[in-house]
């Protein structure tokens, strides 16, 4: 896709520090890492995000995320891994080419998990679950 930064990275038109590539996916270090080894995994075929990506591309990407997560954990001796995927601006998506963040985590890195601050009213959980079930 024209004017997509990550499509340009796949084509080598913009430099990146590649960690893995096969016929379907590409993985490279994030330019602004949360921790050393923070990697982005993307499908070679352009899609906007997880809401429109084709099943085949998503399967390939997520299998790559597992393989590369295992490699990163060993390579940087991480204590754990966060896999993150942002969809649409309100959720923090800035680059509109599907990507998964693999962020190695260290006991001492100081990042804190979000705490849930929403509560369901009486009966609301079942209503919401029913709405979601109808859409699947």
Verify binding: residue 69, ligand 5GP, rule CB under 6 A: no
Query: Contact 99/85 with Cβ under 8 angstroms?
Result: yes
Angle formed at CA 65 by CA 64 and CA 69, multiple of 5 degrees = 115
Would you give the DSSP letter of residue 11?
H
Looking at 90, 94, 121, 136, which residue binds ligand 5GP (CB under 6 A)?
A: 94
Verify binding: residue 86, ligand 5GP, rule CB under 6 A: yes
Q: Please state, in angstroms and rounded to a whole number, the distance separating the CA atoms of residues 65 and 79.
A: 17
Verify binding: residue 30, ligand 5GP, rule CB under 6 A: yes
Residue number with CB closer to ligand 5GP (31 or 51)? 31
97 is catalytic: no
Verify binding: residue 16, ligand 5GP, rule CB under 6 A: yes
Across the beta sheet with 39-43, what order do the strands follow? 18-21, 25-29, 39-43, 100-105, 80-84
Q: Which two tokens stand for residue 71?
A: 């490699």
Looking at 13, 31, 108, 136, which residue binds ligand 5GP (CB under 6 A)?
A: 31
Query: Contact 80/108 with Cβ under 8 angstroms?
Result: no
Binding mask 60-99 for Zn ion (x = CB under 5 A): -------------------------------------x--
Verify binding: residue 90, ligand 5GP, rule CB under 6 A: no
Residue number with CB closer to ligand 5GP (80 or 92)? 92
Q: How far is CA 95 from the centre of its chain?
A: 11
- Return the active site residues: 99
């Amino acid at each position: 896709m024209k004017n997509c930064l990550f499509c340009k990275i796949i084509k080598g038109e913009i430099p990146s520090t590649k960690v893995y590539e096969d016929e379907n996916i590409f993985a490279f270090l994030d330019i602004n890492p949360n921790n050393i080894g923070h990697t982005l995994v993307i499908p070679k075929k352009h899609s906007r995000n997880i809401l429109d990506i084709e099943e085949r591309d998503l399967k390939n990407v997520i299998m790559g995320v597992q393989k590369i997560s295992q490699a990163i954990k060993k390579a940087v001796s991480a204590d754990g891994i966060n896999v993150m995927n942002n969809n649409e601006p309100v959720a923090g998506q800035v680059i509109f080419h599907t990507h998964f963040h693999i962020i190695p985590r260290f006991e001492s890195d100081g990042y804190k998990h979000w705490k849930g601050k929403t509560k369901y009213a009486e009966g609301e959980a079942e209503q919401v679950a029913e709405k979601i079930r109808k859409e699947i």
